[in-house]
Structure formats: structure tokens, C-alpha cells
Amino acid sequence: MSTPSKSLRIAIVGGGLGGLMAALCVHSFCDPTAIKIDVYEQASEYKEIGAGVSLGRNTLRVIKQIGLYEQTYAMAGKTKIWLSARRYDTGEEIVRIKADGDEPSHLPVHRAEFLALLVRTIKERAAATLHPNKKCLAIEEIDDAIVLNFADGAMATAGLVIAADGIHSRIRQHYHNDDAQFGEMVVYRGLVPTDAIKDWWPLDTYTPIWIGPGRYFIVYPVSDGSLLNIGAFIATDGKSLENKTESWTLRGDRFDLEKDYADFDPTVNRLIQHLDEKPLKWILYDRPLCDKWVFANGKVALLGDAAHAMVPHQGAGVGQAIEDGYILGQCLRDYLNDPSTHTLEDWLTNVYQSVRLPRAQRVQTTSRENGNNLHAQSNTFKNPMSEERLKQNLQDRMQWIWADDIDDMYNNARKSMLPGGADNASCKDSLV
Ligand SMILES: Cc1cc2nc3c(=O)[nH]c(=O)nc-3n(C[C@H](O)[C@H](O)[C@H](O)COP(=O)(O)OP(=O)(O)OC[C@H]3O[C@@H](n4cnc5c(N)ncnc54)[C@H](O)[C@@H]3O)c2cc1C
């Protein structure tokens, strides 16, 4: 690494999975004497509401690059789990979706456990200073810096603000005049202890998804296999929802869920009996595509849901946020190594945004489409042709998300900035 001739103070707003992974990636790639990272999180402690999150193979490669794969694999119970799409009524398998070769296609983890790993690692590596209880209300551009104003009256200054403040990002609002869009579905979520069902649960090594008219039901193990994460999705036009505001703490009623899933495979109904009487009930939202992520002459960049909030039908939102941090970290390294040739704005626009935006937007768009696949139209199972079409639709749809080489994308964009520049190390190494 050449001696850096510039240093950069970086403020990451939002300490969710996207913001914390960005801190770790930037710290891993950049000379620590050239950067100072502060993470500002509105909550009083770092915690995640909700249950499981599935990390695709693309995400796992980044996690491996920053040295956290073994811990993540252990958290997921060191089990290789395949996706298995099934008929809602008989439970018969429609298609099994494996990754190429022997690698896991995804690892399911408990969100809170994964977040705790990131917080611990940031502290152990002294990668960033974490500031809880710091809700950012506004930012202003003053001379060469961005000034951040917080709800408690405090202020901070940074040369680069990374907006990782989620789907309702204040910083995005500063530059884009759009609203979150209703995702036409609700999801009931909950956790069931595996001990309670081990005598009859038949699908240990699968993430089964029962696909039915207007509904789908997904299950995967988390917490080293000690809990099953349940997601019960129901399509709705929203008219029956009293309050269409998004909330991650809203609770539904298990009895409504039982009625909604009464015609599903008995395995599904047995699982529902083990959910809390008032399971979490989330209304799904995403954001319209936005074509600009870099502002204030390169002093502000959007990341994660702030840039590309998507509905969760491909389990890919966290993965896309993590890819953002991975590419951003490399851009900052290359900029700081030679800040005289190109500006920070050049790097962020021509490399970070140009590599990440088209891919993230494709995942956003296809996530909406997959919602339709996963709640099959009511006549799908009456017609063998429609069932075959559904199978084809599901079979390969995740492969490009899991397998596209984001290092190649980075290297190509980087070469256009630094003619003759050497390639980076690849994160295409095998995971196993
Ligand atoms: C039902 C459901 C299931 C999902 N399942 C998966 C899955 O299996 N796999 C997957 O990859 N993705 C999944 N996702 C998507 C995933 O949860 C999101 O894409 C991901 O959480 C985005 O991370 P983020 O860090 O960008 O935003 P967030 O996780 O929303 O984090 C934003 C952080 O910023 C903080 N913040 C907000 N405003 C401010 C402010 N003004 N000042 C300071 N801090 C602020 C928040 O408190 C929060 O900590 C799912 C989503 C849903 C709804």
C-alpha cells in the first residue's frame, strides 16, 4: 500500500447490518491512519428486531473477505441447507434449488446474533467509534465538509457521510422527493424452538417454501439450529389494513393466521400452533428506483435500504447492502492511495455508483416479480403447464445474484479510472 497523502473523516449514519458492515469493509481496505470512522445510530443500543435473515452466497464471500465467515457459518449451525419450493396443499416438492458445486447457497442466521458479531468485531478491531442515541435530523454542506445535526442538539463534521439509515432515510429525503411504496403483502414472523417440534419436523436440511394462492410460508433454522424462523406471507390490496404505516413492532393474531392457512399442508398448520399468540406482523414496503446515490460533490453517498429498499421475496436486501460496503471500501482505498488523479466524487460516481446501482436495482425489480411467483396465482396448481412455468421461474432465478462476480465489476470500473491498474484480490475464492 502506498503512503496515503490525504485523510478522510467518515460518518456512517445508521448502525444496522448495512452500516456496520460498511464500517468493517472500509476499515479492512483502507490504511487506518488515513481514515476515521464514526457510526451514528439513533437507538440507545445496537439491536435488531425480528427474526432470521438469509445470507446468500454472494454475501458470504464478502463476509469471508473481512474474516467473519467461520463465525457466521457456526452461527448457522454449520449445516448446508437447500431451498425447496413445495405445493401448498400436499407439500409435494415442486423444485429444489441448490447452488453450484458443494457451496452453501445461503446461510440463515438470527439477525440479532449477526449484528452482535459485527458490533463485537468493530470494537475488537477498533474499526470505528460507535455512537448510540444519535438520531441524525439533518445535514448541511459547509465549505469542504458536511455538518450533521442530531436530535439531542449535538453536531459532528465529516468529509464523507454514508447514509445507511434504512428505508425511511432522512438523508435520502434530503436529495430525493419520494415515498416508500406499499409492497402489497403482509408477513407474520416468529421463532419456534426446535426442541418443541423435533419429534415430527421432517425437513432439517431444507429451507422449505410452501407456495399457494395469495400466500407463501417459509421456514429456516437459525441460532445453530435451535430455533426455526417462520415467515408467513399474505397478499393484500391493503384495504383491510387499519394502519398502513410500516412498523417493525406491530403484532398480529395467531388465530387469523390459522384461518388464512387452513387449506395448507398440515405440517404448516402444526408449526403455526407453536407461534406466539401475537406474532410480529409487518407490512411490506419498498422504494422506487433512484438513479443517483452520490451528492454534495462526493461528500454524501447512499447505501443499503437508503439507496435501494426492496421487498424481501429474494432474501437479498442485506446482501445488497453488504455488497455496497464492500465496493465502497475499495473505492475509498483507491481514492486515498492517489487522491491527486481523481476526486472522491469521481470515484464514488464512476465506480461505487456505476458498479452497484444497476445490480441493486435489478435485485429490487426482480424481488417484486418473485413475490408473484411465490404466491402462485389461484389456478397454477390446476394446470400442469402453469406449474411447469412456476418451476422454471424458480429454478434459476437466484443464480445471478449468488454467482455474478462483483470483483470483476469493480476491476473493470477501476481500470477506466486508472489505466493499467492492477487487479484486486478476488473474493471468488471457494467458501468451503
Ligand atoms: C420481512 C423481511 C424479511 C427480510 N429477509 C431478508 C433476508 O432473508 N435476507 C436479506 O438479505 N434481507 C432481508 N430483508 C431485507 C433487510 O432486512 C434489509 O434490506 C436490511 O435490513 C437493510 O439494511 P440497512 O442497514 O440498509 O437498513 P436497516 O436495517 O433498516 O438499518 C438502518 C439503521 O439506521 C438507523 N437509523 C434510521 N434513521 C436514523 C437516523 N435518522 N439517525 C441515526 N440512525 C438512524 C436504524 O435505527 C437502523 O439501525 C428482509 C426484510 C423484511 C422486511
Cα 147 from Cα 230, distance rounded (Å): 42
What are the structural domains of the chain? Answer: 8-180+287-417 (3.50.50.60)
pLDDT given at position 431: 52
Mean pLDDT of 149-162: 98
Instruction: Report which ligand 1 atom has the smallest distance to the Cα of 137.
Output: 41
Q: Decide if pLDDT at 283 tops 50.
A: yes
Q: Is 303 in a helix, a strand, or coil?
A: coil
> Which of 128-132, 142-146, 329-333 comes out lowest in average pLDDT?
142-146
Mean pLDDT of 352-371: 96
> Which of 30-39, 40-49, 173-182 comes out lowest in average pLDDT?
40-49
Those residues whose C-beta lies under 8 Å from the C-beta of residue 49, and which sit 6 or more positions away, are: 111, 248, 249, 280
Q: Decide if pLDDT at 1 tops 50.
A: no
pLDDT given at position 247: 62
Q: Is 301 in a helix, a strand, or coil?
A: strand
Instruction: Report which ligand 1 atom has the smallest distance to the Cα of 19.
Output: 25
Cα 101 from Cα 233, distance rounded (Å): 31
Residue-averaged pLDDT of the chain = 90
CA 49 to centroid of ligand 1, rounded, Å: 10
CA 331 to centroid of ligand 1, rounded, Å: 23
Q: Decide if pLDDT at 425 tops 70.
A: no
CA 10 to centroid of ligand 1, rounded, Å: 20
> Which of 226-230, 235-239, 330-334, 382-386 comes out lowest in average pLDDT?
382-386
Residue having the nearest C-alpha atom to atom 38 of ligand 1: 165
Cα 256 from Cα 233, distance rounded (Å): 13
Cα 203 from Cα 207, distance rounded (Å): 8
CA 361 to centroid of ligand 1, rounded, Å: 17
Contact status, residue 317 vs residue 275, Cβ threshold 8 Å: no
| Percent helix / strand / coil, the chain, rounded to 5 | 40, 25, 40
C-alpha cell at 121: 468485531
Q: Which helix (H) or strand (E) holds 401?
A: helix 399-403
pLDDT in tens, 221-262: 999 889 999 999 999 987 777 655 656 667 889 999 999 999
Cα 308 from Cα 333, distance rounded (Å): 24
